[in-house]
A and B are shown apart, each in its own frame.
Chain A
Amino acid sequence: MRYSGFNVIKQALSGHKGWGPAWRDVTPKESYDYVIIGGGGHGLATAYYLAKQFKQSRIAVLEKGWIGGGNVGRNTTIIRSNYLLDGNQPFYEFSLQLWEGLEQELNYNAMVSQRGILNLIHSDAQRDAFIRRGNAMILHGADAELLSTRQILRRYPFLNVNNARFPIQGGLAQHRGGTVRHDAVAWGYARAADQCGVDIIQNCEVTGFRIENGTCLGVETTQGFIGTKKVAACVAGSSSRLMALAGMRLPIESHVLQAFVSEGLKPVLPGVITFGAGHFYCSQSDKGGLVFGGDIDGYNSYAQRGNLPVVEDVCEGGMAIFPMLGRARLLRMWGGIMDMSMDGSPIIDKTHIDGLYFNGGWCYGGFKATPASGYVYAHLLATDTPHHTAAAYRFDRFAKGRMIDEKGVGNQPNLH
């Protein structure tokens, strides 16, 4: 049934009996045209756009657990396109544009909320870098505004400007940035893909690839062999584990990124704010929780949990700019496994194995990329040519010296 205010009221008056399942539970067919591994945001979005935009059919999404149980359900829900480099900016701007029409496209309210994102500036060098970035954004057709400290204080009067160790000298704002209800993204794409006939198969783990003379014929799974023309890997933090089954080594390390939420509070933070002299970024969810995070723990990990030093470091950053946070309480901390790439930018490319495609290396930037990642991956799968906004995300860019390194820290994944 279509989602609408009218139907909500109609159902309310008839005891909500009419709502059907958001997506079907299906058992896998023997073969598909496309098998997408990974029922996270990117995998479900890929399936949706393959079916809807590129008119493909016989599509299956295989998820080893429950859909949306990975990073799409454990991130800090921020969307933005404030990227600097040519290889990245158009892609993330494309993603932001897809976010802007997402709810109507999916008929699902994912609460895309363009409340703005603000990066604080604390030094002249940082200002120079942010001006360069802001200009790059505008040249690529994105929005950016340089704010003075006075302008910032108007929106965030409680910011610690004068008493701070690193005084705030201004900020770079992207007003079209904001937040999205993360779980709803996975559910919305799942429901829409399901309505396009995509088979979403939960609790179906890929245990191997069937590869014969350089061609991938299908995948072995915990629910048996599934044959297919094209296999699309889309498993973020588990990328290295999965691709090892195809004998591949990746320019990726898996790291744990912790995220935090406070108890519910009445509105205090209108937008997303990022501390430039420490490791802290924060927004407030519609339920009232302050959602915040900082750096990755910094060591390879497949455990979805971190340790105290980073928790303390993040809270130090929070107290540095919001000294009122002291009496707010941290409610819950959790970790996600980040597929940290060697230059901090993703890979969306064919592999050297025919019929096997790869999407990964998202670092901690995967959530905001969800719509575009799905769209351009679907483009690559359907047409075997990269989408123009993602042409730089190639495997061979490292060997050829064409890295896309926003942070400029090189082949040190835990620094990106």
Chain B
Amino acid sequence: MLIHHPLLGPRDASEFVYKGDAALIHRPDWQSEDAQAQFADYGYLRDNPAGPLRELWFHEQGDRSWLVVTRDTTSHEITSVELASDVARREARAT
């Protein structure tokens, strides 16, 4: 596979390490009422869709950026790639 790095252009996926669903960016609040339940869901439950999935890839053999890659799990087609830090900041502000 090829991942179009937002800064470096197309790079072979073998340079990256995969983590999983980009929902992992949204870590629950440790002080909330049901924190333990929230962390259990956060840690263990996944949508695992057959179709577009936002997922985290780490450019370990590249620039060490974490990326949010939107990839179709049935066709492997990649439709968008962003720096995870940009996504995290944007979505942290949004919530």
Task: Report if A252 contacts B (CB, 8 A).
Answer: yes
Q: Is the CB of B47 within 8 A of A249?
A: yes
Q: Which residues of A contact B14 (CB under 8 A)?
A: 309
Give the segment of A21-29, A154-162, A212-220, A296-304 that binds chain B.
Answer: A296-304
Closest to A249 in B: B45
What's the dominant secondary structure at chain A's contact region? mixed
Task: Give B17-64 interface residues, CB cut-off 8 Å to A.
Answer: 18-21, 36-37, 40, 43-50, 53, 55
Band of interface residues on A: 20 to 34
User: Which chain B positions have C-beta within 8 A of A299?
Assistant: 1, 13, 18, 55, 71
Q: In the bound complex, do residue B73 and residue A252 qualify as a contact, i.e. CB atoms below 8 Å apart?
A: no
Tell me the nearest residue of chain A to B12, going by C-beta. Answer: A309
Contacts of B18 on A, CB cut-off 8 Å? 298-299, 414
Partner of A302, one of B12, B37, B40, B73: B73
Does A114 sit at the interface, judged by CB under 8 A?
Answer: no
Known: A249-B47, A252-B46. 16 other contacts (CB 8 A): A240-B46, A240-B47, A241-B48, A250-B46, A251-B46, A254-B48, A254-B50, A300-B21, A300-B73, A301-B74, A302-B73, A302-B74, A303-B74, A309-B12, A342-B43, A398-B40
- From B43, which residue of chain A is reached at the shortest CB distance? A411
**Which residues of the partner chain B approach A298 to less than 8 Å between Cβ atoms?**
18
On whether the beta carbons of A301 and B44 are closer than 8 Å, the reply is no
B53 touches A300 (CB 8 A): yes
User: Within residues 324 to 380 of chain A, which ones have a CB less than 8 A from any CB in chain B?
Assistant: 342
- B11 lies within 8 A of chain A by Cβ: no
Among residues of A, the one whose C-beta sits closest to the C-beta of B51 is: A302
- Flag if A303 contacts B75 (CB, 8 Å): yes
Contact flag A302-B50 (CB < 8 Å), given A309-B13, A398-B40 = yes
Choose one: B19, B40, B46, B75; the contact of A399 (CB below 8 Å): B40
B-chain residues with CB within 8 Å of residue A249 when the two chains form the complex: 45-47
Give the residues in chain A near B13, CB-CB below 8 Å: 299, 307, 309
Distance in angstroms between the alpha carbons of A332 and B75 in the assembled complex: 21
Question: Are the CB atoms of A307 and B1 closer together than 8 Å?
Answer: yes
CA distance A241 to B1 in the complex (A): 24
Shortest Cβ distance from residue B7 to the other chain A in the assembled complex, whole angstroms:
21
26 contacts between A and B (CB under 8 A): A241-B50, A244-B47, A250-B48, A251-B44, A251-B46, A252-B46, A253-B20, A253-B21, A298-B18, A299-B13, A299-B18, A299-B55, A300-B73, A301-B73, A301-B74, A302-B73, A303-B75, A342-B43, A342-B44, A398-B43, A398-B44, A399-B40, A411-B43, A411-B44, A412-B19, A414-B18
- CB-defined contacts of B47 to chain A, threshold 8 Å: 240, 244, 249
Contact mask for chain A residues 227-256; partner B; CB cutoff 8 A; 1 contact, 0 none: 000000000001011001000011111100
From B42, which residue of chain A is reached at the shortest CB distance?
A411
CB closest residue in chain A, given B40: A399
Q: Please report the total number of B residues contacting A with Cβ < 8 Å.
A: 26
Q: Is A90 an interface residue (CB 8 A)?
A: no
Q: Which of A's residues lie within 8 Å of B, judged by CB?
A: 238, 240-241, 244, 249-254, 298-303, 307, 309, 342, 398-399, 411-414
Contacts of A238 in B (CB 8 A): 50
Complexed CA–CA distance, A1 and B76 (Å): 47
A253, B55: Cα distance in complex, Å:
12
Cβ of A395 to closest chain B Cβ, rounded Å: 10
Question: Once the chains are docked, how many angstroms separate the CA of A413 from the CA of B76?
Answer: 19
Q: Specify which chain B residues have a CB less than 8 angstroms from the CB of A244 in the assembled complex.
A: 47, 49
Residues of chain B contacted by A300 (CB below 8 angstroms): 20-21, 48, 53, 55, 73
- CB neighbours (8 Å) of B74 from chain A are 301-303
Distance A238 CA – B73 CA, assembled complex (angstroms)? 12
- What's the Cα separation between A61 and B76 when bound, in Å? 31
In the complex formed, the residue of B with least CB distance to A299 is: B18
The smallest C-beta distance from B4 to any residue of chain A, in angstroms, reads: 16
Contact residues in A for B50 (Cβ distance below 8 Å): 238, 240-241, 254, 302
8 closest A-B pairs by beta carbon, nearest first, are A240-B48, A309-B14, A398-B44, A399-B40, A251-B44, A249-B45, A302-B50, A302-B74
Q: Distance in Å from the Cβ of B35 to the closest Cβ of chain A? A: 12
In the complex, which residue of chain B has the Cβ closest to the Cβ of A340?
B48
Bound state CA distance, A34 and B23, in angstroms? 36
